[in-house]
Amino acid sequence: MEIVVESVSAQSSLHWQSMGEGKDIVLLHGWGMNGAVWQQTADQLSQSFRVHVVDLPGYGHSQALTALDLDSISKLLLNQAPAKAIWLGWSLGGLIASHVAIHHASRVEKLITVASSPKFSAQKPWRGIAPKVLQDFTQQLLDNFSVTVERFMALQAMGSPTAKLDLKQLKKAVLSRPEPDEKVLLSGLGLLADVDQREQLKSLTVPMLRLYGRLDGLVPVKVAHDMDELLPSTQQHIFSQSSHAPFMTELEEFCECVQRFAL
């Protein structure tokens, strides 16, 4: 199905693409990526939903815009997002979607997070990315932007039986649009290192589905079980063959899972 561009990147607006008919669903990409990663997912979901894909501030065709904290990012998104929608966020996008659901619940019908965590940085007993890994990424980003983003993409695909194909798709998506703004990349790493939404999510008032990859090296699958204890009223699903990008590795099952929860 053809994608209809609703809003083109400019100093004052984010780049959005919308397609299909039905309930509104907003898809948020992860760190270092852009909305092109959702192409196959959007094609499938648009058979049941009105799908809205955005390049987050500083990424892709929204490169001209800068927003460095969750409040600023959320406000820019809400300025152009549907009045009420299902919000689906992958990785860092999951933090953003969760922030919107926590602080702007009237705009969110349901929340779906993909390969995400309310706290990405490990802090015993909480499982996550070793703080030194995030610190190293920050230093490497200052030294060599393109190599750092490529290494992060490789980490996202690692462990999946289709890792080479997943990495190829991620690279193709990233390279199809302008490079991310370095300030936004640095601030994004800061969000992954510092944000902790565990207590805030306990006050969540909208239905939530959490999706994980069993082989994920960035968000350990045991986080899914920790979240069951933290948020027992939410739902979860683990994709057995996926690492950090289940919507690429197990596309059909991913879309079926989203549809079951969202419709």
Rounded to an integer, what is the distance from CA 110 to the centroid of its chain? 15
List the CATH number of the domain containing 110: 3.40.50.1820
Domain carrying residue 130: 4-262
Catalytic annotation present for 69: no
Confidence of residue 110 (pLDDT cuts 50, 70, 90): very high
Q: Which pLDDT belongs to residue 96? A: 98
Q: Which two tokens stand for residue 94?
A: 């999951």
Mean pLDDT (whole number) for 245-249:
96
Residue recorded with tokens 């299902």: 86
* Percentage of residues of the chain with pLDDT beyond 90: 90
DSSP E strands in the chain: the ranges are 4-7, 15-19, 23-28, 49-55, 85-90, 108-114, 208-213, 235-239
Distance CA 144, CA 74 (A): 29
Edge-first strand order for the sheet with 108-114 is 4-7, 15-19, 49-55, 23-28, 85-90, 108-114, 208-213, 235-239
Catalytic annotation present for 237: no
CB-based burial label for 233 (10 Å; 0-12, 13-18, 19+): exposed
Q: Which pLDDT belongs to residue 238? A: 98
Out of 74, 216, 242, 243, the active site residue is: 216
Q: Which pLDDT belongs to residue 205? A: 95
How big is the CA angle at 40 (ends 86 and 221), to the nearest 5 degrees?
65
Confidence of residue 145 (pLDDT cuts 50, 70, 90): confident
Q: What is the mean pLDDT of the chain?
A: 93
Out of 91, 116, 117, 187, the active site residue is: 91
Catalytic annotation present for 216: yes
Report the domain count for the chain. 1
Rounded to an integer, what is the distance from CA 111 to the centroid of its chain? 12
Contact 35/53 with Cβ under 8 angstroms? yes
Q: Which two tokens stand for residue 231?
A: 């948020």
Confidence of residue 146 (pLDDT cuts 50, 70, 90): confident
Distance CA 127, CA 147 (A): 26
